[in-house]
Amino acid sequence: MQSDIAYFIDQPEYILKYSKLALASGLLTEPWDTRVLISQSRGYFQRGQFKEFFATANMAVLKAERSNLSNYRVSALVERAYASYMIGDNNKANTDLNLAIKYLDLLPNNFDKAIILERFSTVNARLGHIELAKNYQHLAIDIYRESNSSHFLSISYYNLGRIYQEIEDWKQASQLMLQSYHWALESKNKLNQAFSLSRLSEFQNNLGKYELAKKYLNDAIIAADASTSERVKIHVRKNMANILCKNNELQACKTLLLETISFAKSYNMQLDQVELMHILAETYYLLGSFEQAYLTLKAANNVASQ
């Protein structure tokens, strides 16, 4: 249960800590064993450890199949599909999604199904199945409306906005992110506020509204720093750095990147650290600091190989 809570508040270190402790206890029943494996796989996803993500999701699928746990089986299949996509195996991802949908449609429209629908819609959107992703994301929203869950309505509108991001409909994506932010304010959830504002900023920048984009991101950083999530602190600063760099504010971009790389290193966010270092290397290059660009790229490769 602690691992599940850590997932909802975006704390991957605690997801992994509590799931490993639970699995090592030897006290879990088959349903709980599968549930913990699903939770652990999501922790690896949030850490950007995609091989571990796949391996753990695969264990969850096998465990659910042996125990004939239909609810957990569909959840595990969706996680394995997402993991397959992240490691570049789209065929395997589509196979798992096609199997998952057969079980998914049989589940009652309750809160557990809505949680699965979030992930199911996200994977379909990444694979280009946009209309399918929209339909199931709207179903999740309907379920959350029935339970009047402002926290999860914020998440659901956020994910729907991301679906429109996939087809670069920045206007519609922005409107949905505003709804996500509204529900995050309603639930007083700083984490959701930060994520919604950050994406809203990104979409506004794509619409050519640079000053508004910066305002939303400044607000996102304030919300992120008031949250308990290390990951969102990195996410919003990375987005701010990207916007600064794209708009040729290179010195400000460099300063923020150095700060954010330090954050990522201290929180063991290796994938984010490498991505940020690549952006920093490009920034050094644009500033004419070619030796610094080379050394930064070399350091990024060393981090990636660890």
CATH code, 135-236: 1.25.40.10
pLDDT at residue 3, rounded to an integer: 46
Both tokens of 61, joined, read 């699928």
Helix (H) or strand (E) run with residue 287 in it: none
Cβ atoms 180, 154 nearer than 8 A: yes
pTM surpassing 0.75?
A: yes
pLDDT for res 17: 62
CA angle 271, 272, 274 (to 5 degrees): 65
Residues found in the chain: 306
Listed residue (106, 175, 118, 124) closest to 143, CA to CA: 118
Kindly give the confidence (pLDDT) of every residue in the chain, 306 residues in length, as a single tens digit, with 9 standing for 90 and above: 544 544 444 455 556 665 666 656 665 556 666 877 888 888 888 778 899 999 999 988 998 887 766 778 899 999 999 999 999 999 999 999 999 998 888 888 888 899 899 999 999 999 999 999 999 999 999 999 998 889 999 999 999 999 999 999 999 999 999 999 999 999 999 999 999 999 999 999 999 999 999 999 999 999 999 988 888 889 899 989 988 988 899 999 999 999 999 988 888 788 889 999 999 999 999 999 999 999 999 999 998 887
* Phi/psi-derived region of residue 268, left when phi > 0, alpha when psi is between -120 and 50, beta in every other case: left
DSSP code per residue over 114-181: HHHHHHHHHHHHHTT-HHHHHHHHHHHHHHHHHHT-HHHHHHHHHHHHHHHHHTT-HHHHHHHHHHHH
Nearby residues of 61 by Cβ (< 8 Å), 6 or more positions away: 73, 76, 77, 80
Residue 110 is classified by DSSP as S
Q: Which CATH architecture has domain 1-107?
A: Alpha Horseshoe (1.25)
With b for 16 or more beta-carbon neighbours within 10 A and e for fewer, the 181-215 pattern comes to bbbbeebebbbbbbbbbbbbbbbbbbeebeeebbe
Identical fold between 1-107 and 135-236: yes
Domain boundaries, the chain: 1-107, 135-236, 248-306
